[in-house]
Amino acid sequence: MSGQEDFSKRKLWGGRFTGTTDPIMHAYNESLSYDQRMWAQDIRGSQAYARALVGCGILTAEERDQIVAGLDRVGEEWKAGKFQAAPDDEDIHTANERRLKEIIGAVAGKLHTGRSRNDQVATDMRLWLIDEAAKLETLLIQLIDVMVKRAKAEIDALMPGYTHLQRAQPIRWSHLLLSHASYLSSDLSRLRDLRPRISVLPLGSGPLAGNPFSPDRVAIAKDLGFLSVGPNSMYNVSDRDFVVETLMWASLTAVHLSKLAEDFIIYSSAEFGFMTLSDAYSTGSSIMPQKKNPDSLELLRGKSGRIFGQMAGFMMTLKGIPSTYNKDLQEDKEPLFDAVDTIGRGTQIATGVISTLEIHPAKMRAALTPDMLATDLAEYLVRKGIPFRETHHVSGSAVRLSEERKCKLSDLTLEDFKTLHPAFEEDVAKVWSFDESVERRDAIGGTSKRAVLEQCDTLEKNLKAQ
């Protein structure tokens, strides 16, 4: 090119190259179509970096103010939906810097001094994830809070508890609900644990070897609200463990939502009839008018596989990358964005389902049968001093006897029980109370009313923990 080169129409990396980029390669290479959602974080990071460049002697205070104000204008365009991408905008960083130059002129070219897109994108992603993690925390808190409130309000509803999907022992409906809330409470704790590892500042690392103009990285971290400063420039630009950890967290949380969904799908079926989903979270059949399908729950169950797939896919991308930044790392954004969006929507759907479903306590209680008190029968003898291994055998014999006579376990007479063990007395009749059975399970974590309310208190304390 003869004469003065037009720097406004070249790529950030274009000085080395004289030919044009294959249009297919440009489309294959670009990330603006999805990383534009980090526009606010990219602007925040650039403004903080501009402030730091004053301390390095690269920018004057006036130039800093020009850049900060110009970036504010770029942000206003994004917020209003008026930002116009240019054909050569490869990513959000290129787009914002190009637009900044159009607004304030050549001084915009000083902003990238000592900075690389390698440390810039890592900073943007961490800032974006810090913001999103706070939103996810709020959504999880809302879900758990709804579950705890229902558990308190419906604490007197009894239902069968299942193992191997076979009726096992009577429990409170609240106890089942809080079992799922406990999984989600652990997810909430794990999400909070992630923050220190997400909130590590990469900015000021340059492309890989560090920044030659020595910006105050501690000041930048404080400016942007990071908890710590990345310790090694090569690590800082290439570390995506925080992405993997978030994907792992989302995968496990999605599995827990899937388990909840599976229980409620089963219990809302006509065969169980323990609950009915709100019309707002159900759909009908295109051919069978009587159908009310639990699509909301089925989607919760199905999307857990999608989220796990995002994690597994990115792990396979990450495992073969050599040190520092490689373009493979561009594959971090779409799985992260999709997983965060999907788990966020799923959490909201679960909150809606649980807050609007109707339970049927009479049907729950009708499903309780005396054989579910066989363990209570064994425990009755334990209280009379007989070893449990012996009482378990006696109770099993009682079950077999009732099956042979084709009657309920509670229909056996005192004389029948005495043929099995002489320690049985008239008070054995008290064993057949489902309410007393659940109340006897009063240890921490049990299904008695006191123990269930204690679980509610524990969960509520975790919601308030910082």
The kind and range of the H/E element at 228 are strand 228-229
- The alpha carbons of the chain give a radius of gyration, in whole angstroms, of 31
Q: How many CA atoms lie within 13 A of 214 on its CB side?
A: 3
d(CA 223, CA 52): 9
Angle at 116 between CA 208 and CA 234, to 5 degrees: 15
Cβ-based neighbours of 241, under 8 Å, separated by 6 or more: 197
Strands (E), 334-401: 358-359
Angle at 182 between CA 177 and CA 187, to 5 degrees: 130
Q: How many CA atoms lie within 13 A of 288 on its CB side?
A: 6
Nearest to 195 by CA among 154, 161, 227: 227
| Neighbouring C-beta atoms of residue 110, cutoff 10 Å | 16
Of 228, 285, 323, 393, catalytic? 285
Which residue's structure tokens are 């961490």? 126
Active site residue 393: no
Is 294 in contact with 280 (CB distance < 8 Å)?
A: no
Active site residue 116: no
d(CA 157, CA 435): 10
| Neighbouring C-beta atoms of residue 179, cutoff 10 Å | 18
Of 164, 233, 282, 433, catalytic? 164
CA distances from 339 to 28, 41, 42, 312 (A): 22, 19, 21, 12
The kind and range of the H/E element at 237 are helix 233-238
CA distances from 369 to 168, 271, 272 (A): 10, 16, 14
Helix (H), strand (E), coil (C) string for 387-404: CHHHHHHHHHHHHHHHHH
Could you list the active site residues? Answer: 164, 285
